[in-house]
């Protein structure tokens, strides 16, 4: 990374290109040179982040969400990226759990 919002993109003709982070993607944030996070991108925005060098998508959203793409698995696969779906209901998540984290590791 060369500065806030600027990354070295894929190489073209042996030269690395400077590319700006895609600002219009809801909640886009670059955590480091290899990891980003955001809200649901559009089809075009998936292509934009692929151009930045993103190769893996982990989707925590529900397929039934109003902003979900009709077939995100196919959209991501067409671009040559890996797609992993771990659905999490952010609206109805439990506030507490009956299992403590220590009991998970002690069994």
Distance CA(45)–CA(27), nearest Å, equals 13
Which tokens in the block code for residue 69? 């793409």
The mean pLDDT of the chain is 78
Largest distance between two CA atoms of the chain: 56
Alpha-helix runs per DSSP H in the chain: 43-51, 72-78, 101-106
**pLDDT band of 95, cuts 50, 70, 90:** low
CATH number of 23-92: 3.90.190.10
pLDDT tens across 7-48, in order? 444 443 444 455 677 778 999 888 887 888 999 999 999 999
Does residue 102 carry a pLDDT above 60?
A: no
**What integer pLDDT is reported at residue 22 of this predicted model?**
78
Tokens 């995100």 appear where? 72
What's the sign of the alpha-carbon dihedral 25, 55, 52, 18? positive
Do 38 and 27 form a contact (C-beta atoms < 8 A)?
yes
Does residue 91 carry a pLDDT above 50?
A: yes
């Amino acid at each position: 990374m060369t500065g806030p919002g600027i990354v070295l993109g894929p190489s073209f003709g042996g030269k690395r290109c400077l590319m700006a982070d895609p600002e219009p993607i809801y909640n886009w944030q670059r955590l480091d040179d290899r990891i980003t996070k955001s809200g649901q991108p559009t089809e075009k925005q998936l292509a934009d982040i692929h151009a930045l060098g993103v190769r893996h998508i982990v989707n925590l959203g529900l397929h039934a969400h109003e902003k979900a793409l009709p077939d995100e698995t196919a959209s991501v696969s067409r671009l040559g990226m890996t797609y992993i779906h771990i659905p999490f209901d952010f609206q109805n998540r439990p506030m507490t759990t009956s299992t403590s984290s220590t009991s998970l590791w002690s069994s």
